[in-house]
Amino acid sequence: MEKVYDYVIVGGGTAGAVLAARLSENSEVSVALLEAGAGEGPAIMSDGNPEAAVGLWGSSVDWNYTTTPQSGTENTVHTWPRGRVLGGSSSINGMTHLRGHASSFDAWEKQGAIGWNYQEMLPFLMRSEGARGGDPRFRGQTGPMTIEEPPAATPLAQDLHDAAVDAGHPRCEDGNDPQAEGVFWAERNVAAGRRQSAADAYLFPVLSRPNLTVVTDAQVRRLVIDNGRCGGAEYVQNGEPGTVRAEREVVLSAGAVGSPQILLLSGIGPADDLRRLGIPVRAALPGVGANLHDHPLAWISYGVKKSPVPGPSRQAMLFARTSPGGDPDILMSFTAVALEPRWAGAQEGFSILFGLATPTSRGSVRLSSADPAAYPLIDPAYLTESEDVARMVAALRMARDIARADSLSAWRDEETLPGREAVTDEECGAYIRRTAGTYFHPVGTCRIGTDDEAVVDAALRVHGVDGLSVADASVMPSVVSANTNAAVLGIAERAAHLIAHPRRTLR
């Protein structure tokens, strides 16, 4: 028997948790949330230590995606952890709460997302967060996501922070300042020492609402589309098929991989690709699955002359720019272990991680077959543009300048990565291609815009299909210059506002 709701939300990750909580605030509407993963995960998922996230990769709460071989990284097939549980990737990430420089939001509007600039997004970014004591001009005080004072810095963490200042980078009081640049202490989504996912903050406190239904272990196979209108979704739960109907709207919030995959399986996407797989074309939208990109990440590592003090610590991060006249395009973080390439392990030491915040390389998500259970082809096209490699080399040199600063002289031993093998630009570029991987921030595959390649309009409605919207990281025309979770919270807050107002005004 089909069940009917006013709103059906597909995907219970960061965006889906926000949407379900906000839309169900109206007791006169009914809301169903479908999540492919479980309702809860292993005990380590609640650990407030960011390093614990590594133990969740490859677990039961991870989709365990892999990329296609990447020509820009020596044909490496990269693992791509994405959360498969209520809370989605906010349940398995490093818990960093960082929005990015205002310029990276303003870039959306310049790329055709009319009305999606920093000033328009700011009220919704603020609505999500409880940053008590922050500047009330741009920090939310009473939102669901708790921003606690981080623990004190260990001596090595403090010296890593100070080394960035020694190298000429300014101190930054708040990394979420709209014009943030320089070194700052990272904020975490941690409450009382435990991870706070979007599900923890938004969804779990309201599960008792009679107008909210949450269905877990329910993998959506395709959307139900009749006469140009999306009226629901078909899913499988424990091997049994099910269907939910939406009287008002279906909202896809399955992420930068899941949302385009579901659209494609439903016949919404590049027409020729769909026909080759035998999928009837419901709406010819060539941009579905295109524009995939992610922050490429690499690092340098050093041994230490003395053992660091163990225990919890705040972590320094840095916004920097490779061009004096440009916007910040490098995001760095500092950690008190010597990491091995591509998260293969860690030794005693320290590392400086650097990610390209504004990559130009673009890839895609495509179907591997018409079988909904088959994983899609994920091609982030890492470092396919030479400009990206050149800026990563500049970031490596910037990181070395910091590592060689006086503040680290009591700690610094030999450089273990990349070491003496990477001196020239060519050698540094080769090291980056050999070791760079995901920063876990994929976006862009259902982007906002008005051109032929855009997937959703400024009100997040899918072009050419009534009753269907997308609200998650996939709608970003370009990635923000930071970890993406805070921006996705803001997108979902704004989406809930738009969906709840029939005229779909942007404010």
| Rounded CA separation 387/360 (Å) | 8
Strand-pairing partners, residue 377, are 366
Q: What digits encode the pLDDT tens for the residues 265-292?
A: 999 999 999 999 999 999 999 999 999 9
Across the chain, what does the average pLDDT equal?
Answer: 96
Say if residue 506's pLDDT is above 80.
no
φ and ψ of 343, to 5 deg: 60, 30
Residue 86 has pLDDT above 70, yes or no: yes
pLDDT band at 303; cut points 50, 70, 90: very high
- Structure confidence at residue 435 (pLDDT): 97
Catalytic residue (one of 441, 463, 497, 501): 441
Query: Is the pLDDT score of 187 beyond 90?
Result: yes
What's the mean pLDDT in 171-196? 96
pLDDT digits 0-9 by tens, 321-347? 999 889 999 999 999 999 999 888 999
Mean pLDDT calculated for residue range 13-38: 98
CA dist 394 → 71, 100, 165, 329, 356 (Å): 21, 20, 18, 11, 10
Arithmetic mean of pLDDT, 342-354: 94
Q: Answer yes or no: same fold for 3-149+188-293+362-381+440-507 and 151-185+296-356+383-435.
A: no
For residue 311, what pLDDT is reported? Answer: 87
Expressed in percent and rounded to 5, the helix, strand and coil fractions of the chain are: 30, 25, 45
pLDDT given at position 484: 98
CA distance 351 to 302: 6
- Say what the pLDDT of residue 325 is: 87
Q: Is residue 135 within 8 Å of residue 294, measured between CB atoms?
A: no
- pLDDT at residue 485 in the model: 98
The mean per-residue pLDDT over the stretch 188-193 comes to: 93
**What is the residue extent of each domain of the chain?**
3-149+188-293+362-381+440-507, 151-185+296-356+383-435
CA distances (Å), 30 to each of 25, 38, 386, in order?
10, 22, 50
Q: Quick one: fold of 151-185+296-356+383-435?
A: Cholesterol Oxidase; domain 2 (3.30.410)
Cα–Cα dist 232/241, whole Å: 14
d(CA 120, CA 498): 13
Instruction: Return the CATH number of the domain spanning residue range 3-149+188-293+362-381+440-507.
Output: 3.50.50.60
Q: Could you give the percent of the chain with pLDDT greater than 70?
A: 99
What pLDDT, on the 0 to 100 scale, is given for residue 507? 52
Q: Answer yes or no: is pLDDT of 505 > 90.
A: no
Active site includes 441? yes
